[in-house]
Chains A and B, each alone.
Chain A
Amino acid sequence: MSLSFKLEKSFYNFNIDVSLDLGKEMTVLFGPSGAGKSTILNMLAGIVKPDSGFVKINGKDIYNSEKNINVSMRKRRVGYVFQDLALFPHMSVFQNIAYGLDGMDSGKVEEKVKEILVLMRLVGLEERYPAEISGGQKQRVALARTLVTEPRLLLLDEPFTALDYPVREKLRTDLVRIHKRYPITTVVVTHDQEEAYILSEKIAVLNDGMVEQFGTKGDIFYSPGTRKVAKLLGIMNIFDGVVHGFEGEDVLIRHVKLGIIKARKSAGAGLKEGKHVTFGIRPEEVMVLREDRNQRNIENAVDGALIDVVDRGTQNTLYLKMRDGNLIIKVDIPNFAYRKMGLRKSKEVMVSLKKECIWVID
């Protein structure tokens, strides 16, 4: 199973130009709204015609502007779960799921629908209409309706944005489970970082109609390739500095307010003394130090006061304002640690930017 495509499309004041090679893994197209994510899905599905390029599924063209190939929607065998789901409101759950099984004998249809109903936890809802089931159930019906036709490519547009948090979480695990069962090339569009992180094996970060970075989840989240990617992924702790020197395996970076910060040499390629670089650290990698700990010899220590605390359920986000200077560092800390350490707003704390967690970009 593979999908490779190159798509170009110009709009009035916006251009899309992307190319990607995907395997059977789940790939997330991540980007802010207006980055062209949905339009890319629509071009893969054949709803929107690109200006030029190609789309190959398992090496075979389903669209190719040079060879003049443009396979119609109904022959592409592309499964698409629309953002609004597009369930047929005048048909029952059973009829919706069976819709794509036209031409099969009714016994076989029943068998296939029953099988997917079990897999999607929908048994007992067959006779209900879309208006009579919950948001999460609708989502699963939409997925079932597509999967039952055994598509060669599965596209999901912001699949869970409209749902409540607990439902969303359950469905994400469902989707990962189902993807293991039906290992087809799957492309999920989202603007939600958490969703991108949970669902993806690979991530393509899109911005302004272009791929900013494409790689594995680890690559993208823990060593973003550009400042833009880091920003889009919501990593707030991004700083500019100058390479000051080297010390064994470490590189020393001078920052106007933070002073000298140590990072691993391997964090960035081609680092030279005097070079301007961007570096940063994910909020969850910032370590809050216990007060009783020996505060000497702590690498990259920063102290200041907590100017704000946001409770996010299982974790808290802290905003630390550096004592001498206006720099703010964002810290994510698990709820239990937050309570155990007796943290609160306006408390003075010291944090460590662990050097092995710092990424560096030229």
Chain B
Amino acid sequence: MINMHAFNPAPIYLTFKISIVATLFSVFIGFWIALLLAKKVFPGRHLLDAIIMQPLTMPPTVLGYYLLVLLGRGSFVGRFLEDELGISLVFTWKGAVIAAVIASMPLFIKPARAALEGVDRNLENAARLLGRSEFKVLSTITVPLSWKGLVAGAVLAFARATGEFGATLMVAGNIPLKTQTLSIAIYDAVQSGDMYLANILVLIITVFSIFTVYIVNRYTDGKF
């Protein structure tokens, strides 16, 4: 007999909330880093690139550990946030956002940087020589011509944020309705033997993941 117990959509809602906020941060912060890496030659550029890309290779638990140490009450940053600003990050959904930002940002930066680098320097110089300011050059030439890469990066970052597990678990924990995201709920369901719930959640995340990457490929001809 099929287990007909009630399906709670809270993890889905929570995952999307965290992922949307995290993607916004990833894009707004990542854009300037991508621009810096794409257009400027400065000492330590490769090192910065290597550090930014760490979340792609480092175990998520290590990432989570760093965040926990950095944001927890034991650290200066954590104490300052909590005492002065009243923001508590550890074991809250905001902590999950931070984890998702760190994990997803490289996925935005990589294609964004490639797209920004792909904009012909002569076009930007032509715009400057025609009397336009750096901001105008960026907003009328560079961004419109790298639009595809920026969107592709944002979608990939969003997809990555929805699937974030390790770092989120370390920083935000597994509190149902508060910090329990989709991927953590799957882990939880399997642990407690609720294969019905696990199957539904796995199906949702699989379809969503394939769909987003497919859309990005369609949109950019597989360039990013």
A residues neighboring B (CB under 8 Å) = 45-47, 72-80, 82, 84, 86, 88-90, 99-100, 102, 145-146, 149
Q: Which residue of B lies closest to A95 (CB)?
A: B140
Bound-state CA distance A102–B128 (Å) is 12
Of B24-32, B47-55, B60-68, B129-137, the one contacting chain A is B129-137
Which B residues touch A84, using CB under 8 A?
120, 122
Asked if B126 is at the interface (CB within 8 A of a chain A CB), the reply is yes
Q: Are B145 and A89 in contact (CB under 8 A)?
A: yes
Q: Are A47 and B141 in contact (CB under 8 A)?
A: no
Q: Are B123 and A88 in contact (CB under 8 A)?
A: yes
Interchain nearest-CB distance for A51 vs B (Å): 18
Q: Are B128 and A82 in contact (CB under 8 A)?
A: no
Within 8 A of A (CB), among B84-140: 120, 122-123, 125-133, 136, 140
Asked if B144 is at the interface (CB within 8 A of a chain A CB), the reply is yes
Q: Are A80 and B129 in contact (CB under 8 A)?
A: yes
Interchain nearest-CB distance for A79 vs B (Å): 7
Q: Are A86 and B122 in contact (CB under 8 A)?
A: yes
* With known contacts A86-B122, A86-B123, A74–B144 Cβ distance under 8 A: no
Give me 8 A-to-B residue pairs in the complex whose CB atoms sit less than 8 angstroms apart, sorted by A's number: A45-B129, A72-B128, A73-B129, A77-B131, A78-B129, A80-B129, A90-B144, A99-B127
Bound-state CA distance A282–B136 (Å) is 52
* With known contacts A88-B141, A90-B145, A82–B132 Cβ distance under 8 A: no
Most buried by B among A72, A73, A76, A90: A73
- Choice from A79, A88, A89, A102 contacting B129 with Cβ under 8 Å: A79
Q: Which residue of B lies closest to A45 (CB)?
A: B129
Which A residues touch B126, using CB under 8 A?
80, 82, 86, 88
Bound-state CA distance A149–B131 (Å) is 9
Which A residues touch B131, using CB under 8 A?
74-75, 77, 100, 102, 149
Bound-state CA distance A99–B127 (Å) is 8
Q: Are A145 and B130 in contact (CB under 8 A)?
A: yes
Bound-state CA distance A45–B124 (Å) is 13
Which A residues touch B132, using CB under 8 A?
74, 99-100, 102
Q: Are B136 and A102 in contact (CB under 8 A)?
A: yes
Bound-state CA distance A62–B133 (Å) is 18
Bound-state CA distance A76–B128 (Å) is 10
Which A residues touch B130, using CB under 8 A?
74, 99-100, 145-146, 149
Interchain nearest-CB distance for A22 vs B (Å): 19
Q: Are B128 and A86 in contact (CB under 8 A)?
A: no
Q: Are A86 and B120 in contact (CB under 8 A)?
A: yes
Which B residues touch A88, using CB under 8 A?
123, 126-127, 141
Which B residues touch A146, using CB under 8 A?
130
Q: Which residue of A lies closest to B136 (CB)?
A: A102
- Choice from A47, A74, A80 contacting B133 with Cβ under 8 Å: A74
Which B residues touch A99, using CB under 8 A?
127, 130, 132, 140
Bound-state CA distance A90–B120 (Å) is 13
Which A residues touch B129, using CB under 8 A?
45-46, 73-74, 76, 78-80
Bound-state CA distance A151–B122 (Å) is 18
Q: Are A47 and B144 in contact (CB under 8 A)?
A: no
Interchain nearest-CB distance for A162 vs B (Å): 14
Closest A-B pairs by Cβ, 9 of them = A100-B130, A86-B126, A86-B122, A73-B128, A82-B122, A74-B128, A74-B131, A80-B129, A86-B123
Q: Which residue of B lies closest to A157 (CB)?
A: B122
Most buried by A among B125, B129, B132, B136: B129
Mask, B38-54, CB within 8 Å of A = 1, is 00000000000000000
- Choice from B125, B133, B144 contacting A86 with Cβ under 8 Å: B125
Interchain nearest-CB distance for A105 vs B (Å): 16
Q: Which residue of A lies closest to B126 (CB)?
A: A86
Q: Are B125 and A47 in contact (CB under 8 A)?
A: yes
Mask, B129-168, CB within 8 Å of A = 1, is 1111100100011001100000000000000000000000
Mask, B180-215, CB within 8 Å of A = 1, is 000000000000000000000000000000000000
Which A residues touch B125, using CB under 8 A?
45, 47, 73, 80, 82, 86
Bound-state CA distance A296–B6 (Å) is 118
Most buried by A among B126, B127, B141: B126
Bound-state CA distance A74–B126 (Å) is 9
Bound-state CA distance A149–B127 (Å) is 12
Bound-state CA distance A99–B128 (Å) is 11
Which B residues touch A89, using CB under 8 A?
145
Interchain nearest-CB distance for B174 vs A (Å): 47
Known contacts A73-B125, A74-B129, A102-B136, then 4 further A-B pairs from the complex at CB < 8 Å, ordered by chain A residue: A45-B125, A76-B129, A86-B126, A88-B141
Most buried by B among A74, A78, A89: A74
Bound-state CA distance A47–B144 (Å) is 22
